[in-house]
Amino acid sequence: MTEKREVGVGPWEGPWPKEPHFDPALLEAGDRRNVPDRYRYWRREAIVADLDAHHRNDLHVAIENIDHDFNIGSIVRTANAFGVAAFHIVGKKRWNRRGAMVTDRYQHEFHHASPEEFLSWAHANGRAVVAVDIVPGAVPLEHTRLPENAVLVFGEEGGGVSSPLLEAAELTVGISQFGSTRSINVGHAAAIVMHTWVTQHVDVPRDLTR
């Protein structure tokens, strides 16, 4: 029987480090958070600051929140993994954070009460609005260069991206599919599109454990 690998580290052994980014509570009790080893025992605020300084990519994602879709949390978790600069919730301010697995605490979050408010922000900040949906006029992601200054827009499961955002998008892309289902889960689709942007615009290190 394969033993389950324990996540994280136990209490700090030896004299405690004095650098301010270390968290005394974690040094004492151990750090079992789902963070890279480089951030073991660090305060949350220190991790956010280091991400901002060294690891964020120039990509934003926006997620429509009409019916409290549980996939929102999954998309936020993926955004964190790919170093997305910020995520935007369009619609209801409260969203289902369960799937985010607390990764939202390390991200910059913005709320826009309506599509119009979000679009105003995007235009004011020079962001190219890219809708992700399989609709007439969408182009295959596999043959499309995504804008470096993109804000990727994802709709809710089933309903897709709303009409106001589709109509205002500078570009709409869809993921090519070959089976009997019309679409894949929106959380999975978001991961594919974010990773595509990364492969197109990020100098990816060769060491996965950096």
Looking at the domain assignment, is residue 34 inside a domain?
yes
Same-domain status, 137 and 191 = yes
Report the pLDDT value the prediction gives residue 179, as an integer from 0 to 100. Answer: 94
Looking at the domain assignment, is residue 5 inside a domain?
no
pTM: 0.93
Same-domain status, 43 and 88 = no
Going by pLDDT thresholds of 50, 70 and 90, the confidence category of residue 203 is: very high
| Residue 94 to residue 97: CA distance in whole angstroms | 9
Same-domain status, 192 and 136 = yes
Average pLDDT, the chain: 95
Same-domain status, 44 and 71 = no
Q: Containing domain of residue 75, as a range?
A: 56-201
pLDDT digits (tens, 9 = 90+) for 50-74: 999 999 999 999 999 988 778 999 9
